Amino acid sequence: MSRLGRIARRTFLLGSAAVAGGVAIGYWAWKRPVANPLPATLPEGAHAFTPYVVIDAGGVRVIAPRAEVGQGIASSLAALVAEEMDLDWPTVRIEHGPPSGAYYNGKVAAEGFPFAATDSGMLARGARGLGDAVAKFADLQITGGSTSVADAFDKMRQAGAAARAVLLSAAAEREGVPRSGLRTEAGAVILPDGRRVPYPALAELAAGRDIPLDAEPKAPRDWRLLGRPMQRHDIIAKSTGTARYAIDMDLPDMVFATVRTNPARGGLNGMDADAAAAMPGVLKIVPVDGGAGVIADNSWTAMQAANAIDFSWGPPPFPADSATMWEQVAASFTEDRRDSRLKDEGDLGAALAEGEIVEAEYRVPYLAHAPLEPMTAVARLADGRLDLWTGTQIPVFARDRAADRAGLDAGAVTLHVLPAGGSFGRRLEDDCIAQAVDLAMAMPGRPVKLTWSREEDMARDFPRPMAMARGRGAVSGGRVTGFDLSVAAQSVTASQMGRLGMPVAGPDVTIVAGAWDQPYAMPACRVTGYRVPEMVPVSSWRSVGASMNGFFHESFLDELIHAAGADPLEERLRLIDDPLSRKVLEAVGEMSGWAGPRPADGIGRGVAFTLSFGVPTAEIVEVRNTESGIAIDRVWVAAEVGRIIDPINFENQMQGGVVWGLGHAMNCELTFTEGRPDQNQLNLFEGMRIGQCPEIAVHGLENGDTVRGIGEPPVPPAAPALANAIFAATGQRIRDLPLWNAVDFA
Spatial CA neighbour of 144 closest among 607, 541, 696, 732: 541
CA 513 → CA 112, 348, 507, 549, distances in Å? Answer: 10, 21, 12, 7
Phi, psi angles (nearest 5°) of residue 118: -85, -5
Q: Classify 460 as helix, strand or coil.
A: coil
Spatial CA neighbour of 638 closest among 591, 594, 604: 591
CA 64 → CA 67, 77, 333, 343, 642, distances in Å? Answer: 8, 6, 44, 38, 21
Cα torsion at 536, 394, 508, 643 (round to 10°)? -130
CA 36 to centroid of chain Cα atoms: 26
Listed in sequence order, the DSSP H helices in 331-469 are 348-354, 395-406, 431-442, 454-459
Angle, nearest 10°, between helix axes 544-564 and 718-730?
30
Q: Give me the half-sphere count of Cα atoms (radius 13 Å) on the Cβ side of residue 152.
A: 30
Amino acid letter, residue 477: G
What percentage of the chain exceeds 70 in pLDDT?
96
Give the chain's end-to-end CA distance (angstroms, integer). 57
Whole-number Å distance between alpha carbons of 407 and 441: 10
Per-residue confidence (pLDDT) for residue 23, from 0 to 100: 33
CA 14 → CA 130, 137, 598, distances in Å? Answer: 9, 9, 57
Per-residue confidence (pLDDT) for residue 33, from 0 to 100: 72
Per-residue confidence (pLDDT) for residue 505, from 0 to 100: 82
Listed in sequence order, the DSSP H helices in 479-538 are 492-499
Point out the residues of the chain with pLDDT beneath 50: 1-29
Q: Which residues contact 410 (CB under 8 A, 6 or more apart)?
A: 3, 399, 400, 403
Per-residue confidence (pLDDT) for residue 32, from 0 to 100: 65
Confirm if 475 and 559 have CB atoms less than 8 A apart. Answer: no
Gyration radius of the chain's alpha carbons: 27
Listed in sequence order, the DSSP H helices in 191-346 are 199-207, 235-240, 274-277, 299-308, 322-330
List of domains in the chain: 33-105+141-240 (3.30.365.10), 246-314+375-451 (3.30.365.10), 332-367+462-741 (3.30.365.10)
